[in-house]
């Protein structure tokens, strides 16, 4: 559920809390969602210090002194929790617990059990991050797959990293492009609007989240979204918001957004 802006702030906050701490225990309850044996995970991390925490697309990467790193995808329902080691065992729906030498612990929770944890996954740069998109890149992708719906593009983590259902709608409203537009039909100025809206919407959201939920490491803030949300009736520009299933996902948009087709 968390998308790029939420995860960016999670990384900041988790970093402040655990960088420099030494791992003393790792417990993982995932079966399918872990790319190595639990033992291997434990032995790779125990006695290492956390070096850095970064967001990579929709995943968080936790780097340790010595080079090992853990990559965590929260999927739909995952979240983090900071607690003390002695109560970490009581946390409901915990799927991963990393305990530190100072008695604190970082827990990943997930009621669905869909979280994915990977130790040192192959560093394959699948796609550029949403914050590093260029017009040239968009033109190249759009020329190769001209019939793709523009919302499908924004959601495809193999083409652009970090955007989920909610921010896709926000970006498209900001760019005044209908989610059902075919990317190959976008005129140059629409591509420009899109390439500008992607970072501007996401960066503004990061600012808002930092302001509204300074310590957030779980859940998401969505009160400031402009069109994506069932409580919203009209866009800031005044048009009624349309709710529709697009690409099997609930989509909010308005007729201010031009359909290029």
Partner DNA sequence: GGCCCTAACAACGA
Partner DNA sequence: CTCGTTGTTAGGGC
The binding site for DNA (CB under 7 A) comprises 1, 3, 31-33, 57-58, 73, 75-77, 113-114, 144-149, 152, 155, 157-158, 164-166, 246-250
Nearby residues of 26 by Cβ (< 8 Å), 6 or more positions away? 38, 41, 42, 45, 46, 96, 97, 98, 99
Cβ at position 250, least distance to DNA in Å: 4
Cβ at position 150, least distance to DNA in Å: 9
Nearest to DNA of 17, 155 (CB atom) = 155
Nearest to DNA of 54, 65 (CB atom) = 54
| Residue with tokens 């005129």, as numbered in its chain | 187
Nearest to DNA of 90, 223 (CB atom) = 223
Cβ at position 178, least distance to DNA in Å: 12
Q: Where are the alpha helices (DSSP H) in 124-249?
A: 135-144, 150-155, 165-175, 188-212
User: Residue 65 and residue 67: Cα distance in Å, rounded?
Assistant: 6
Nearest to DNA of 51, 75 (CB atom) = 75
Q: Under the phi-then-psi rule, with left for phi > 0, alpha for psi from -120 to 50, and beta for the rest, what region is 230?
A: alpha
Cβ at position 170, least distance to DNA in Å: 11
Cβ at position 152, least distance to DNA in Å: 4
Nearest to DNA of 23, 217 (CB atom) = 217
Q: How is residue 240 annotated by DSSP?
A: B
Q: Where are the alpha helices (DSSP H) in the chain?
A: 4-18, 38-45, 85-88, 135-144, 150-155, 165-175, 188-212
Which of 102, 76, 80 lies closest to 91 in space, CA to CA?
Answer: 80
Cβ at position 95, least distance to DNA in Å: 11
Nearest to DNA of 7, 88 (CB atom) = 7
Residues 102-140 as b/e (b if ≥16 CB within 10 A, e otherwise) read eebbbbbbbeeebbbbbbeeeeeeebbbbeebeeeebee
Cβ at position 47, least distance to DNA in Å: 30
174: Cα separation from own chain's centroid: 20
Nearest to DNA of 65, 145 (CB atom) = 145
């Amino acid at each position: 559920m968390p998308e790029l802006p939420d995860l960016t702030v999670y990384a900041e906050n988790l970093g402040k809390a655990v960088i420099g701490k030494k791992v003393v225990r790792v417990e993982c309850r995932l079966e399918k969602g872990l790319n190595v044996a639990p033992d291997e995970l434990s032995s790779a991390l125990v006695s290492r210090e956390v070096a850095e925490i970064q967001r990579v697309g929709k995943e968080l990467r936790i780097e340790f002194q010595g080079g090992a790193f853990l990559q965590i995808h929260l999927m739909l329902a995952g979240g983090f929790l900071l607690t003390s080691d002695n109560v970490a065992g009581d946390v409901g729906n915990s799927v991963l617990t990393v305990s530190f030498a100072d008695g604190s612990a970082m827990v990943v929770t997930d009621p669905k059990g869909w979280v994915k944890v990977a130790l040192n996954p192959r560093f394959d740069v699948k796609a550029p991050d949403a914050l590093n998109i260029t017009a040239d890149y968009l033109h190249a992708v759009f020329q190769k797959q001209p019939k793709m719906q523009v919302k499908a593009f924004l959601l495809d983590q193999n083409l652009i990293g970090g955007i989920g259902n909610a921010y896709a709608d926000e970006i498209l409203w900001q760019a005044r492009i209908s989610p059902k537009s075919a990317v190959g039909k976008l005129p140059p100025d629409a591509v420009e609007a899109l390439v500008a809206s992607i970072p501007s919407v996401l960066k503004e959201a990061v600012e808002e989240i930092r302001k509204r939920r300074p310590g957030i490491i779980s859940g998401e803030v969505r009160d400031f979204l402009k069109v994506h949300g069932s409580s919203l009736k009209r866009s800031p520009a005044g048009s009624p918001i349309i709710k529709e299933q697009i690409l099997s996902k609930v989509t909010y948009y308005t007729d201010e957004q031009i359909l290029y087709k």
